[in-house]
Structures are given as C-alpha cells and as structure tokens.
Amino acid sequence: MVSFTILVDCPDEKGLIYRITNVLYNRQLNIVKNREFVDGDTNRFFMRTEVEGTADENILQEELGAALPPQSSVKIITARQKKLVVLATLESHCLGDLMVRNHFREWNADICAVISNHSMLENFVTRLGVPFHAVLSEGMSRDDHEHAVAELIDGYDPDYVVLAKYMRILTPAFVERYRNRIINIHHSFLPAFVGAHPYRQAYDRGVKIIGATAHFVNNNLDEGPIICQNVIPVDHSQNASDMAKAGKDVEKMVLSRALKLVLEDRIMLSGNKTIIF
C-alpha cells in the first residue's frame, strides 16, 4: 500500500471531479482526502487529493492527463521525507527554531546542510549534527559567490532552499535555478515595508501592528507568492529595536508554519498567489 498526493491544475469545465475520481476508481485507488477550488479570476480548477493504493505512476499520470483539458498540470507526489538546505547569515532565531524542529523530527523533512556567508553560526549547527558550510563573500563577485553556494546546494539535491534570515539579494539566475523552490521569511507584513530595515520603517510610520511574511522567492524583491503571514500588536512605547526583538517570535512561527504547508504539499501557485489546501 502506497500513499501519495495528486495535485491538479487545469482550465475549469464541467465534470472535472467525476473524470479525475473515475480514473482513480478504475485503478482501485482509495481517496483519503480531497479538496478543490476554482479561481474565478483565471478560470482555473485546482484539486488536491490524498490517495492510498498501488499504481504505476507513469500510467496514472497518462490517464489523468488524458481525462483533463489542454493546458493542464498533474503532479503525483509519493510520500517521502523531503530534503532542505538552509541559507543563513548572522541572525540565529529562525535557524535555531528550524534546527530544533529538525532535531526532534517534528516534520517529514531533513535539513541536509546550512550554508552561510559568515562562520558565526557554525558551532551551533554542527553541535546538532548538521553539516555547515561558510562561503565568505568578501573579495568575491556576487555571481562567483552565488555559483559557489549553488554548487554546495546541488550536492545535497534538496527539494527546497530555505532563507532563514539570509540577508543577501539573489540574482535572477540563482532564483531561476531553484524556481518555486526558495522560501524566504521577511520581517514585515508584506506588502508593507519591503526591502531592508522594515522595523525602522514601521517605527517611523507609527504602526500599531508588526508582522512577518513567508513567501516563495521570485525576481521582484519581497513580492513572491505569499505562503503565510501573522502579526502582533505594538505601541508608541516601543522603538525600532524593541519592535525587532518582539518580531523575532512571529518570524519563527510564520516560517515554521509555511514550511509545514510546503512539506505537506498543500500549496499550489496561481500566478503570484498561492492556493492553500
């Protein structure tokens, strides 16, 4: 008995659920969970189905594709432990939270390595038995530095690359290399206060809430599809430094929630938006 998840993204039309489930029935597969959604703006149909049974994935992919209209996408994901590579700089709070969750196996994933442009976090990471690589950027061009980082990442063949406060802007070539596989935590409730120093921007604006946003990375700074967000209240007595300290907890929580959704294959992309089941 095998468990797997089927993700369908196709133009909306009548009878889609029947046609999809009929293929599964004919293959004697048992549907454990099923959810669907139609994006009225794009007329796209999205469906996530958890299935148990035995089937040849290639044949099942063919049969599902044949049952769907043109310009359809079908992904069949077998249940397995996913692999992560985490990029970090100097801040430890998000990385520390991920490392603890990884150590105690709170999710079906494994952090294969941590890569940083500084060496400060090496002792902490290696104490938990995870390989650490420092790729110092001093004296290197951006392209050369990213090439060295990418070679290390590719050696681990991860499913996703996680930016745990990795304070470097990525080039379009790097983003394309890991298209829809880079997850970032931004210390602001986007779209407010993009870029650097959002807590200072928030303080100067006199906001009453601050937040954090986990999103997929694209080539527009802090504008990739949003996965998860949350906020906490602040008041006039807190300066920018106080807000930054308070924000660390919400950053950790938002990033871990986002990763849980990603690792459970609950996210589908619709343009620059996410459909979350």
Q: What is the pLDDT of residues 197-248, one digit of tens each?
A: 888 888 898 989 988 999 999 998 788 999 999 999 999 999 989 988 998 9
Q: What is the pLDDT of residue 178?
A: 98
Confidence of residue 151 (pLDDT cuts 50, 70, 90): very high
Q: Which residues share a beta bridge with 232?
A: 210
Name the pTM for this structure: 0.93
Q: What is the pLDDT of residue 235?
A: 92
Q: Burial code of 162-171, b = ≥16 C-beta within 10 A, e = fewer?
A: bbbbbeeebe
Residue limits of CATH 3.30.70.260 in the chain: 2-78
- The C-alpha atoms of residue 31 and residue 108 are separated, in whole angstroms, by 21
Confidence check: pLDDT of 195 > 80: no
Q: What is the pLDDT of residue 263?
A: 97
Confidence check: pLDDT of 189 > 80: no
Confidence of residue 1 (pLDDT cuts 50, 70, 90): confident
Structure token pair of residue 184 = 């970032």
Structure token pair of residue 92 = 């430890």
Helix axes 57-67, 16-26, angle to 10 degrees: 150
Report the CATH architecture of 82-276: 3-Layer(aba) Sandwich (3.40)
Residue limits of CATH 3.40.50.170 in the chain: 82-276
Confidence of residue 170 (pLDDT cuts 50, 70, 90): very high
Q: What is the pLDDT of residue 33?
A: 97
Q: What is the pLDDT of residues 67-125, one digit of tens each?
A: 999 999 999 999 999 999 999 999 999 999 999 999 999 998 999 999 999 999 999 99
Question: Of 7-11, 49-53, 200-204, which gets the smallest average pLDDT?
Answer: 200-204
Q: What is the pLDDT of residue 194?
A: 79
The proportion of the chain whose per-residue pLDDT surpasses 90, expressed as a percent, equals 83
Residue ranges in the chain assigned as alpha helix (H):
16-26, 57-67, 93-103, 122-127, 142-156, 172-177, 198-205, 240-263
Confidence check: pLDDT of 190 > 80: no
Confidence check: pLDDT of 191 > 80: no
- Residue that the structure tokens 């290390």 belong to: 152
Q: What is the pLDDT of residue 37?
A: 98
Mean pLDDT, the chain, rounded, equals: 94
Q: What is the pLDDT of residue 163?
A: 98
- The C-alpha atoms of residue 104 and residue 102 are separated, in whole angstroms, by 5
- The C-alpha atoms of residue 157 and residue 174 are separated, in whole angstroms, by 15
233 preceded by a cis bond (ω within 30 of 0): no
Residues in Cβ contact with 47 at an 8 Å cutoff, skipping those fewer than 6 apart:
6, 7, 8, 16, 17, 20, 34, 35, 36, 37
- State whether CATH 3.90.1150.10 applies to domain 2-78: no
Q: What is the pLDDT of residue 223?
A: 87
Which residues are marked as active site? 222
Q: What is the pLDDT of residue 188?
A: 80
- Residue that the structure tokens 């527009």 belong to: 220
